[in-house]
Chains A and B, each alone.
Chain A
Amino acid sequence: MSLLELKNVSYTYSSGTPFEITAIEDINLTIEKGSFVGIIGHTGSGKSTLIQHFNALLKPTTGQVLLNGKDINQSKQSAHEARFKVGLCFQYPEYQLFETTVYRDIAFGPTNMGLSEDEIKERVREAAELVGLTDELLKKSPFELSGGEKRRAAIAGIIAMRPEVLVLDEPTAGLDPSGRKKILGMISEFRKSTNSTVIIVSHSMEDVASLAEKIIVMNKGRIYKYADVHEIFTKSEELAALGLEVPPVTSIFLKLKEKGLDVNTDIYTKEQAEKELLRYLKREGIAW
């Protein structure tokens, strides 16, 4: 069933002035319920503009955005509700923390929803547990946390709204490997436990390849391709033409093939790589 649908959506910044820029053009897109979608594309390809349409932060210049079949830009009320149903977490969300304690910051979204005190408490605890923040940390000021903890606290603030769709813009940007691993683990955990739809924008092909099922490739404000991960990452030439890369594992197998090894090149996760290598070595009689 389609959850989020964009019909002929275009958006122009500073419309009607000399600084007019069309950021996205004629976008038609359907996001299925429960799917995990990655969005990739060069800087300035319109990724950030696109995701801000999902929760009515930006109103399309032309076209429609439907959530569960209803136009979210119909009224102020519907736009406001869309913010809670589609949880959007911006890039570097840690710079938006403002409350006196981490607990209160996570509670900001649920409070704006007008929930009861008990309900808010339950949601904050649940979200904090999911992102791995201890009760002790919840009592601290958000400005005392480490970079990775801040990031997780900010994401918890979105998760606490229990959105039907979670949209994350570059959730791992600027984190060290262990922080990155935690965030990615957290995202899969969130999806498993809630069966929510997740959309992730990333520059890291590795992250996208290991998490997403379908991928949207954006180019110059348009959707260049929207297909299964498999189909996207097996066409490395097409990606290269757009200035994008395949995941590191894929490029290793492409190089091996180039060197004359008879290996499969449609590999994009570590697990697949391991299997394929073992298969190859076995066949060649090197391993057993």
Chain B
Amino acid sequence: MNILHDARLDGELVQHDRAEVLAALSRAAPGLTLLHREEDLRPFECDGLAAYRVLPMLVALPETLDQVEALLRKCHEVRVPVVTRGAGTGLSGGALPLEQGVLLVMSRFNRILEIDADARIARVQPGVRNLAISEAVAPHGLYYAPDPSSQIACSIGGNVAENAGGVHCLKYGLTVHNVLSIDVMTIEGERMTIGSSALDSPGFDLLALMMGSEGMLGVVTEVTVKLLPRPETAKVLMASFDDIEKAGSAVGAIIAAGIIPGGLEMMDNLAIRAAEDFINAGYPVEAEAILLCELDGVEADVQQDIDTVRGVLETSGATGIQLARDEAERARFWAGRKNAFPAVGRMSPDYYCMDGTIPRRELPRVLKGISQLSEEYGLRVANVFHAGDGNMHPLILFDANREGELATAEALGGKILELCVEAGGSITGEHGVGREKINQMCAQFGSLEITAFHAVKRAFDAHGLLNPGKNIPTLARCAEFGAMHVHNNELPHPELPRF
């Protein structure tokens, strides 16, 4: 585990006296709410990755942009690191506080500023919840497409920071495809609008660069999102399989038939049983795998697509195919999937959720590899999978109260991610690197790429004050990490000096 910032591996941070920083910030930003007592800081010690906990030096809860600006300017001046936090639902420790840093909480910026139904855009503050946007624009027949499972609680600023996805990404894209512009403030307190309400902007695509940059390049202060018309209808087919590889092949066959489903999800037997036990979704508990295939759009097309997909599923060897008869059954089918994480949570005191992506064709091999690793490490793994876009969420079941089991779970998780990279995939599809996957970045990228990332960081934050120790590892960390993970007898990053 790498919870605490390690100066040797993450870079030096200037040490500050809490009282002095508190006094300096109070003077710089009059009226700014600053928390400094341990009991007030405690609720902010972690984000959605609760295994990682650190008490911040201070928590700032600004209500005006002037306060944010004053805070950033002062922190920049005296070299105090700043970690930005939205709703704190992130799953990779991207908003994990620093003992030596200020936690900048943007949740009070929670107003929807403008809805333009004719232009199909909404301008919102960063603390607005993802689902609140769709609810607010629903009377116009519109919605905001990206729907991470945490959408009821997560905020749009955090969605930008993580380039959040959801179950409908294959057809409707990630946050990067659905945001038109953002206002950001740099660590120097400079305000910029990046992107515009037009469909493109002159210069470099800084909007794409900011998406998923995990609060390392700037603080998001406003977001303009694109809205889509609600599909006229959505239908869900559930197919069961007696063999997980057949289910994997069916996914490819559906897409090969020219169909882009609104959602295409897969669950393995352990996940099916957990969900069924929890939600009574009507899942076949004997199946080795199920596929949920949602087809949405205009009634006439959806009907035709259902027929096509049904044919493909039959050919692929599905042992059962069920079309949700009505909206209630459709909601129930989805409820099982959307509650898969807490459902698995009931089977085990703790679980650890991975987020690797792979080319779909590698699915059978990777699943086999996960099952071997699961045996090797002696921990059960349930597989939930955004099959359509190759994003896996293996859930590692463990008991943190058992000596060493958290470490084992983490080690197993790291191995699973390396397996994804080896299969041509990525260590994270939508949850982000944060603090959690900082070491696996060294498996994903070589030192040239990591050097380029540091160059980009320097262009925006020369002193490395925004969210240090997250997202992009230092080369020193990669050298150390590489030394511990010898792969095929080859040291990763052989060109780096070892400690």
A, B bound: no
